[in-house]
Amino acid sequence: MALKEGRCPNCGSILTLEDKSEKGHCLFCDAVFENAKAFDIAANPEGVEFPNEEQPKYEGPSLDPVVRNNSIPAKAAAPARDKKPSARRAPVQAEAYVHKDPIKLPEVKLSKRTRIQLALITVIVIGLIAGIGVPTVTKRDNDRQQIIEKFASELKYDVSAEQAIAVRHIANDYALIALPEDVTAEEAAEVFKTYCDVRADIRGEADAGFAKVYGGVSMKLIMPAGGFKIEEPADQTELDSGSNIISVS
């Protein structure tokens, strides 16, 4: 099925939906709705009022267009073709059977000491991989939870930390925010700065300079009438002027 852009009839968030599915689910407000209505609103949002009512938590089957049955249908059998009679071939004389002994691989015998050494090396390698990967993921998750909660508390907009804010990547340097009201490009820049400052504070990078605090961060703001995208400003001038703020519909 093809993917198509729609708008949540409850909160107005921009969503990606399957054009042939009847129902859709909003990841921001938890509303379940008719996809046809979401497509109509996206095509003509003028004059549409979004009630933004609180929705019960959706616990039904997944409506995410990405989560689908990955089974591959069997190919249809090819239609039988009429076989044309082929010219008679001369009989081929079979070659005499010659018995050949199977190829034997040389046996590798390891001493008990060598086997123990190999086992220890395997354990050490696994331990090193786990020692690097597990702490990294744990720190990312701990930082992410603190960043989301503090960022939501410092915003002047009434948003749900669980439903309206999503953070991605190991460095937590990509944020997706759903705002309940439309904002200007200048206000969007302030939201971006607030997120970057909170992230840097939680990660202990508040004094690390512009490139570390703001330069590597991207954000997408979703609003009832559209949104903004802000991607990795090169310097303070670019961020203050709003030259890297892109309007998205």
Residue-wise pLDDT tens digits, 127-141: 777 777 678 889 899
Which residues in the chain show pLDDT less than 70?
1, 66-101, 133
Which pLDDT does position 76 carry in this prediction? 41
**Cα–Cα nearest to 65, from 101, 92, 38, 104:** 38
Instruction: Please state the domain extents for the chain.
Output: 1-65, 137-248
Which pLDDT does position 241 carry in this prediction? 87
Which pLDDT does position 103 carry in this prediction? 77
Instruction: Work out the widest C-alpha separation in the chain, in whole angstroms.
Output: 91
Residue-wise pLDDT tens digits, 71-123: 444 344 444 455 555 555 555 555 555 556 677 777 777 888 888 988 889 88
Phi-psi region of 9 (alpha: psi -120 to 50; beta: other; left: phi over 0): alpha
High-pLDDT (> 70) share of the chain, %: 84
| Bridge partners of residue 246, in order along the sequence | 229
Question: What does pTM read for this prediction?
Answer: 0.49
Which pLDDT does position 217 carry in this prediction? 95
| Bridge partners of residue 227, in order along the sequence | 222, 248
